[in-house]
Structure 1
Amino acid sequence: MKSIKTIGLLLGLLSVFSMQGQTKQWTLEECVKYAIDHNISIKLSDLDTQSAEINKKDAFGNFLPSVNANASHSWNVGLNVNPVTNIAATSTTQYSSMGAGVGVDIYKGLQNQNTMRKQKLALIASQYQLTKMQEDVALNVANAFLQVLFNKQNLKVQQEQLAINQKQYERSDEMVKAGSIPRGDLLDVKATVATSQQNVINAENTLLISKLSLAQLLQLKEFANFDVVDENTLQDENNILEKTPMDVYARAKETRTELKIAQTNLEIAEKNVKIARGAFQPTLQGFYNINTRISYADQISIENGTVVSSPAPPFWNQFADNKGQAFGFQLSIPVLNGFSVRNNVERTKVDLERSKIDLEQKELDLQRNVYTAFTDAKGALKAHESAIVALEARQEAFNYATEKYEVGLMNSFDFNQAQTLFTNAQSEVLRTKYDYIFKIKILEFYFGIPIIQN
């Protein structure tokens, strides 16, 4: 009984360790979400958004009055004029002053209002930029993910081909012993097996490199056992190719982030022109100041050879008696500032024209990219369909070549050629399949369909 329990315990431990040793397989959705959460460029873009939020708070602060307080303390030794009594005397006096002032902009050429509107737009632009960064990362991850899938499938093809070649070598060995084919054909088949083994090794290395590339794109620190799920169901689920290029372009103009960024930058440039023009107008400020002075040390003076000490007035009496207030308005009218204001306005106008041209260029680029993506997706679909037809033909040709080779009606060289063409056709089907999937993802991306559904 004890031995049975011991064996059961060991089996349980082995099952636990085997489960822990299993490699986590990532889905496309998991890869994209992880990359968005950990990508360094996205984190930097998020910091830019936070900076834009702070700039917006600065703009709001321009509407608030400025309040400042001041205080000072000094020691006056020797013959000095007491700033409180205005009497010259030889004394050591401690003197304190304190005050507060309030200032507020009443009119400033609408610069504060336009600055506030500009910073709101700048915040929106930074948020758009963050979104675009996330979209670009998602697209790059999807491309790398599909590359891993292709390499995994290609490795399976090479492994299956190696198994076929090994069986063919065993069959050829039997045929040589039976005298059906010359020994030279067996050596050719043996060389083919060695080539297949090399192809498997190359496919394994290519798969490993593609996994490492995807893992690094995700900012994974430990990626020795990184792997992805074999998603063979990826296809044109949204029937995007049923749309016309104009339909996709019209939708892209409404949804694409790069256009939103360019449009927002244009509006920011317009606000900059208004802010610069506001400097031509006069500014009006209101102010209010209050201050008081205190001298709180006995004064010592010499009169007719006699030392005379006169006490300072009481502290709180001085605090109340020496108060002073000032309030009023300050009007500033710009007359001549070395053409700096005018030049600044002209400079902002140039930036405005540049923003208009940038928006036009972005629209042209988007139209070209959409039509190119649509054409590429159509071409990728046709290429995949042609590859499937070619594979079916190569499959039949290979089956026929196998039959002829086994009865001695085909030499090993021609048989290897047929086999190589069949293997290449299999790889081409896989390549065109994942190329088609990625081109569809790009086209859906322009149509406003995210890489992963939320």
Structure 2
Amino acid sequence: MKLVNTHKQLVLGMVFILSSLQMINAQTWTLQQCIDSAEVHNKRLRINSLEMESSLQQVRVVEGNRIPKLNLNADYKYFTDLPYQLMPMSVFGGPEGQFKEAQFGVPHHLNADLTLAIPIYNPELYGNIKTSRAASELTRIQNLKSKEEVFFEVSTVYYNAQIIAQSLDFIDSNILNARQLLKNVELLQTQELVTGTDVNRARLKLLQLEKERESTTVKYDRVINVLNFLMGRALNEPIKVNKTIDFEKIENYTRETSLSVQLAEARNTLLKTQINTLQKTRYLPSLNAFASYGTTGYGYDEEPNRFLNFYPKGLAGIQLSMPLFNGMVTKRKVISKQLEIDASSLQLELMQDQTDVNIENALSEKDNANRTMEIVEEQLKLAELIYDQTILQHSEGIVSLTDVIMAETDVNKAQMEYLATIIEYLKADLKLKKESGNLLKN
């Protein structure tokens, strides 16, 4: 039995050493450094950045339709059989109402011209430009929203890592105390002042703490893996968080429009722009100018010394297009889009109400955590004082080992409650920053 216990202690010792070496080699990262890394390397943010750039290019594409277009056109045709036309025989003095087939043209036909198209007024074009700009603004806010969510996740995971790292420090301190207690109890056993049961209790407490440290280390490694993932780093790269939790207690923040509300507003604006475009193209005409200049060549194989004869051609004009009736398609689209706008307006009101509720809840959670933190901190100090006094009394034979273990359990409980209260405060503060539109500013 002793051999088995010795083996377990050796294994736990090796795990502790390897974990300690890894932590020593790991670089300490602050929360801001983690956020900066995520902003550059997080794959979700990189995808959103590319989508935003694509949206900007799409705006330029639509705006480019306002610029006059110049095209070069050319084609060559060879007629194996010239097309027929019917000629009235009366033209050549024949009877009325009778026709004679005739072939016109030459086998070789070459055409080349430059065509210029100038949009003078096109309501659909200008409506598409406004729509593309509104869509680009929506994409920009969506990118900011994704950035806010990633920063929120990085901060939350970082706080969790800090709490677990401090838990490990508490556990390490408790392990040192438990080992010292075990030595003292074993010494008292040699003097026949305590029984073997007391020694086993002290040894059991030490094993429980070592097991707790092992499971907490695994939990810490998992949190670090998530943090590395959010930062866009390889999972096997060592990293260490700053154990010192520095935070400024700010009761409230300046109320800004949250990104959730901005996103709902941008969607509503996009829908209104789309319906305005539909309503304009439903009644307004479009006016375009055009011009063309080129040459046409005709030729046939029997002509000696010359294959093609070229003749210039040119034209210019203005085209007016007035929509009259398209089968009620545009009207149905306007009705459908209006229903979407009504739903979007309700969604905007919902987001505003939900933001107000979230801010009030975050303020309440933060205030409660702040008050609880002061109480739990006093509890921790008192539990540690009681533990020190109990250890002293046990060495003098006044109290039993059970009292020592109970005092130590109270310390462990107070430590965990203290850390839990801190993380509740930090998360509530983080949520308040997000809902009040201050997360990306801070």
* TM-score (ref. length: structure 1): 0.81
**Equivalent residues of 1:291, 1:325 under 8 A apart:** yes
**1:416 aligned to which of 368, 384, 405:** 405
Cross-structure match for 2:95: none
User: What is the CA deviation profile of residues 145-193 of structure 1, one whole-angstrom value per residue up to 9, with x for unaligned ones?
Assistant: 1111111110111111111011111111122222222221111111111
Q: Secondary structure at the match of 1:280?
A: helix
**2:276 aligned to which of 264, 271, 274:** 274
Unaligned runs of 5+ in 2: 1-20, 86-101
State the shift of 1:328 in Å: 2.6
Task: Provide closer, same or farther for how the CA distance between residues 89 and 118 of structure 1 changes in structure 2, counting only shifts above 3 A.
Answer: closer
Cross-structure match for 2:370: 381
Cross-structure match for 1:365: 354
CA distance in 2, matches of 1:43, 1:364: 32
Q: Secondary structure at the match of 1:156?
A: helix
Between the aligned residues of both structures, percent identity stands at 17
**Equivalent residues of 2:134, 2:273 under 8 A apart:** no
CA distance in 2, matches of 1:328, 1:202: 82
Structural RMSD (CA): 2.7
Deviates more, 1:72-81 or 1:40-49: 72-81
Task: Provide closer, same or farther for how the CA distance between residues 396 and 229 of structure 1 changes in structure 2, counting only shifts above 3 A.
Answer: closer
Q: Secondary structure at the match of 1:361?
A: helix
**Equivalent residues of 1:388, 1:429 under 8 A apart:** yes
CA distance in 2, matches of 1:78, 1:437: 87
CA distance in 2, matches of 1:156, 1:360: 47
CA distance in 1, matches of 2:191, 2:200: 16
**1:251 aligned to which of 222, 243, 255:** 255
Task: Provide closer, same or farther for how the CA distance between residues 452 and 341 of structure 1 changes in structure 2, counting only shifts above 3 A.
Answer: closer
**Equivalent residues of 2:291, 2:315 under 8 A apart:** yes
State the shift of 1:94 in Å: 3.3
Task: Provide closer, same or farther for how the CA distance between residues 364 and 447 of structure 1 changes in structure 2, counting only shifts above 3 A.
Answer: closer
User: What is the CA deviation profile of residues 387-430 of structure 1, one whole-angstrom value per residue up to 9, with x for unaligned ones?
Assistant: 11211222233233323332333333333122111112112212
Residues 1:100 and 2:114 are matched in the alignment: yes
**Equivalent residues of 2:380, 2:418 under 8 A apart:** yes
Superposed counterparts of 1:208-219, under 5 Å: 208-219=221-232
State the shift of 1:258 in Å: 2.1
Cross-structure match for 1:135: 148
Unaligned runs of 5+ in 1: 1-17, 300-309
Superposed counterparts of 1:70-219, under 5 Å: 70-77=73-80, 93-108=107-122, 110-219=123-232
**2:60 aligned to which of 52, 57, 60:** 57
**Equivalent residues of 1:75, 1:95 under 8 A apart:** yes
User: What is the CA deviation profile of residues 84-108 of structure 1, one whole-angstrom value per residue up to 9, with x for unaligned ones?
Assistant: xxx95998x4321122323333333
**Equivalent residues of 1:105, 1:286 under 8 A apart:** yes
Cross-structure match for 1:347: 336
**1:402 aligned to which of 383, 391, 394:** 391
Q: How many residues align?
A: 403
Task: Provide closer, same or farther for how the CA distance between residues 90 and 181 of structure 1 changes in structure 2, counting only shifts above 3 A.
Answer: closer
State the shift of 1:80 in Å: 7.0
**Equivalent residues of 1:158, 1:203 under 8 A apart:** no
**1:426 aligned to which of 407, 415, 418:** 415
**Equivalent residues of 1:240, 1:444 under 8 A apart:** no
Task: Provide closer, same or farther for how the CA distance between residues 292 and 90 of structure 1 changes in structure 2, counting only shifts above 3 A.
Answer: closer
CA distance in 1, matches of 2:429, 2:103: 93
Cross-structure match for 2:88: none
Cross-structure match for 1:229: 242
State the shift of 1:341 in Å: 1.0
State the shift of 1:335 in Å: 2.7
Task: Provide closer, same or farther for how the CA distance between residues 79 and 102 of structure 1 changes in structure 2, counting only shifts above 3 A.
Answer: closer
